[in-house]
Every structure is written in C-alpha cells, then in structure tokens.
C-alpha cells in the first residue's frame, strides 16, 4: 500500500478531520492511504465547510494542499 501526503493550510492550529475521524493537525504534512476523503476541521468559523479531496500521486515534496480560511 502506498502513502499519500496532505497539507491542510489554515491560519491557526486545528485538528484535521477525514470522513469524520481526526487524522492530524493543520499546517503539518499528514500521511494517508490513497483514497477520496471529505476533509474538514475541528470547531467552526472556517470556510469552506469541507473539501472533497482525492489523494493520489502525491509525494513528500508535492503534497496535496487544501486551504481553509
């Protein structure tokens, strides 16, 4: 099984949630299995409410980047 890399950018420290489960924290590269995920953050007051992300073909140097504001 390969590993994919996800970087969730947010102006603050939040938990990163994939399909309802915490998987890591914002602004740090996260390891996940290749898959399609609904990504959101803990707490509220950010946008968009969630992001549909397909993780495939990433690398540690080129992670999939998702930005919440």
Partner 1 sequence: MSLRAVIAGGLLVLLALVGAACDTIPDYPNKPLAAGAANPPPADLIGPDPGAPLILIAFSGGGSRAAALGLGVLDELAGHSYPASGSPVALIDRVKVVSSVSGGSVVAAWFGLVGPARLDELKTDFLERANMKTLEWEATDPLTLARLSFSSYTRIDALRDLLDRELFHGARFADLRRPSAPLIVMNATDMESGEVFAFTPQRFDDLCSDLDQLPLSVAVAASAAFPVALSPMSLRNYSYEDCKSTIPGGGWIAAELTLPLPRYTNFEGYKRARYANALRNGEDAYRDEHHLHLLDGGLVDNQGVQSLTKVLVSPHSPARILEAINSGRVRRIAVIAVNAMADKDNGVGGTQRFRDC
Residues that bind partner 1 (CB under 8 A): 1, 3, 16, 18-25, 28, 30-38, 52, 54-56
The alpha carbon of residue 22 and the mean position of all alpha carbons in its chain are separated, in whole angstroms, by 10
Q: How many Å apart are CA 11 and CA 9, to the nearest integer?
A: 7
Phi, psi (rounded to 5 degrees) for 53: -125, 130
User: How far does CA 57 lie from the centroid of its chain?
Assistant: 15
What's the min distance (Å) between Cβ of 39 and partner 1? 11
Residue 9 or residue 38: which is nearer to partner 1 going by CB?
38
CB of 28 to partner 1, least distance (A): 7
Nearest residue (CB) to partner 1, 31 versus 65: 31
């Amino acid at each position: 099984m390969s590993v994919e890399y996800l970087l969730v950018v947010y102006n603050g420290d939040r938990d990163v949630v994939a399909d309802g489960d915490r998987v890591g924290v914002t602004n740090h590269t996260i390891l996940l299995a290749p898959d399609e995920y609904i990504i959101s953050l803990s707490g509220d007051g950010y946008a968009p409410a969630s992001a549909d992300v397909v993780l495939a073909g990433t690398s540690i140097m080129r992670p999939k980047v998702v930005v919440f504001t």
